[in-house]
Amino acid sequence: MFSQKTLFLLTLPSLLSATDTTASKSRTVNASLNAALKAAATNFDRNALLSQDTDWYYDFDLHPNFPSTTGAVITADAATFPVLTGAGISIALLKLAPCGMLPPHLHPRATNLVTAITGNTTSWMIGENGVRTRKVDLVPYRLTVFPQGSLHVMQNNDCEPALLISALNSDDSGTLNILPSLWSIPQDIIQAGFGDDSIDTAGLGKDIPQVGTGAIIGSDECMKRCAVHTNKE
């Protein structure tokens, strides 16, 4: 009844809203395959479960968030690329828009090595109370480390897109975005945390971007310098 194209257009809104809220979380493509790989007695048995050549590659550019204009974090891990089950490693492609940013976050189960391919992306990282915050400009071919559990944030200073490769020593590293997480706690408790019970935390937190594609648009200074406009203005 419907052509393929009409069907695609009809499903687009639900597809978009699904990627909006859950995309930066790795989505499990084949849970029973993950389970079977975990249960396999030998590497020979694992290979039998991964019989097709297509089981052995992952195309970052086929992810629906790849063309996102705000950028995206696209992760190949056990959930999205089952051959990695038990391998203890995953790789994410970080695509940042002009002035694009990965908002403050941490990985509960992995140390993160990030290498810049293009752009000039400034990162800030703090590992624990009392240590200094480390600032690194990720220019091409420079690598930095965000130790497991460290809080980190990065922004592309360039008026052009930036590309980085992010390696994590877990096949299920997880990501926790700090601001939406903090704002999931009752207002009076956050106020106490700020040391000021008159602070309007609800107002302060109302525009915190959703996790979305993992990337957002960065600072006002950069946006003015690069003449980047968002629909917030």
- For residue 2, the Cα-to-chain-centroid distance in whole angstroms is 35
The residue from 139, 163, 167, 179 that contacts ligand NAG (CB under 6 A) is: 139
Q: Which is nearer to ligand NAG, 49 or 204 (CB)?
A: 49
Residue list 1-60, contact with ligand NAG (CB under 6 A): 30, 32-33, 49
In the set 28, 80, 118, 120, which binds ligand NAG (CB under 6 A)? 120
Q: Which of 20, 45, 59, 137 binds ligand NAG (CB under 6 A)?
A: 137
Least distance from ligand NAG to the Cβ atom of residue 164, Å: 14
Taking the C-alpha atoms of residue 141 and residue 115, their distance in angstroms, rounded to an integer, is 6
Are residues 66 and 73 in contact, defined by beta-carbon separation less than 8 angstroms? no
Question: Pairing mode, if any, of strands 176-177 and 121-126?
Answer: unpaired
3 state DSSP class of 143: strand
Is residue 123 within 8 A of residue 116, CB to CB? The reply is: no
Map residues 171-210 to x or -, x wherever contact with ligand NAG holds by CB under 6 A: ----------------------------------------
What are the beta bridge partners of residue 114? 144, 166
157 makes contact with ligand NAG (CB under 6 A): yes
User: Which alpha helices (DSSP H) does 195-231 contain, by range?
Assistant: 201-205, 220-226
User: Which residues of this protein are in contact with ligand NAG, per CB under 6 A?
Assistant: 30, 32-33, 49, 120, 122, 137, 139, 157
